[in-house]
Amino acid sequence: MNGSMDPDTEYSATVWKHFHTPSNAGEFLAGTAGVLNGEAGARQHGRAVAFQLQVTADGQVADCRYRVYGCPVTIALCSLTSEALKGQPLTAAAAYSVVSLAEQLGLPAEKHAAAITVEDAIRSAAGRYNSHVQPLAAATEFTYRA
């Protein structure tokens, strides 16, 4: 629903699409293997992001989920980023520049803070890689028990 907020003059159609129908929102079921949790921001500051990366044994991001409290740009950036990270090595994901994405989308400088929060949440998740998470087995390896 595009409605009357006339987005065209402010943000791009892409941003609005990802705001109104964000991809990969939500969270993995509890107990799902290979999930790294990260968070950044705080509600009282207007923006809070909880990002989940599902990582394979060989360090690839298989899937993402997120929950977000924040402005339309924050929501859209989470959605766009979640699509971009899939299939990336975790190291690349950790270095992914949401700020560059924001610039490419033509977002004003004031909105870069939203991008930074999303980055922080991803890096917070990535930073937990070597702790007690059970990595997801690589997609090609399935262990069948006879």
8 Å CB contact between 52 and 64: yes
Q: Which stretch binds another protein (CB under 8 A): 16-24, 91-99, 101-109, 128-136?
A: 16-24
Q: Which stretch binds another protein (CB under 8 A): 3-11, 57-65, 124-132, 136-144?
A: 3-11
Give the residue, chosen from 36, 50, 61, 64, that forms a contact with another protein under the rule CB under 8 A: 50
Q: Site residues for another protein, window 69-108 (CB under 8 A)?
A: 69-72, 74-75
In the chain, beta strands by DSSP E: 35-42, 47-55, 61-69
8 Å CB contact between 58 and 48: no
Q: Is 67 helix (H, G, I), strand (E, B) or coil?
A: strand
Give the residue, chosen from 14, 17, 20, 23, that forms a contact with another protein under the rule CB under 8 A: 20
Closest CA to 76 of 26, 125, 11, 121: 11
Q: Could you list the residues that contact another protein (CB under 8 A)?
A: 1-7, 9, 19-20, 22, 25, 39, 43-44, 46-50, 67-72, 74-75
